[in-house]
Amino acid sequence: MDEIEQGDPEEVALENALRKARAVRAARRLRPGEAVLGVDTLVTRDGVIYGKPADAEQARATLRALSGSAHRVLSGVALLFAQEERTALASTEVRFRELGEPLLEWYVGLEEWRERSGGYAIQKGGSLLVREVRGDYENVVGLPLATLLDLHPALLAALR
């Protein structure tokens, strides 16, 4: 399943989440009441989508581009049932501190950038790159729980 990495960031996040969920739904027959969840999280600044860096050099370039500025973390959420599709978008603003070379090299050396949109993991060492978060922190971690509960409020009852 190919992910889209160009286009309107909000549309890309939603389309990627739908593709993931649809692939799972197509591979198995859902019973009544069952659902498939697809989520795609990406980082964007000034319309540019920063996906998962391929290597350390690309991680450095991404982190330099985000240094000292605000970016958005977008998560497309798709909840699919046998005959119904529900989607929503979560958006969180993250502001990075100015990343000097020692901090940048230390962080790239941790290799947390691997398999991380935007090249960082806020719940780990990447927290030192961040000056401010506006919005849902869980979205930046990767699963916007509040958005998921908005799509399917009955999930709250299942937690009791």
- Residues acting as catalytic residues: 40
Distances (CA, A) of 43 to 63, 83, 107, 149: 11, 31, 18, 22
> CB neighbours of 45 closer than 8 A, spacing ≥ 6?
65, 66, 69, 70, 71, 72
Q: Looking at residue 110, what DSSP letter applies?
A: H
Alpha helices in 7-93 (DSSP H): 9-27, 56-66
Torsion of CA 140, 94, 2, 114, to 10 degrees: -70
Q: Looking at residue 82, what DSSP letter applies?
A: S
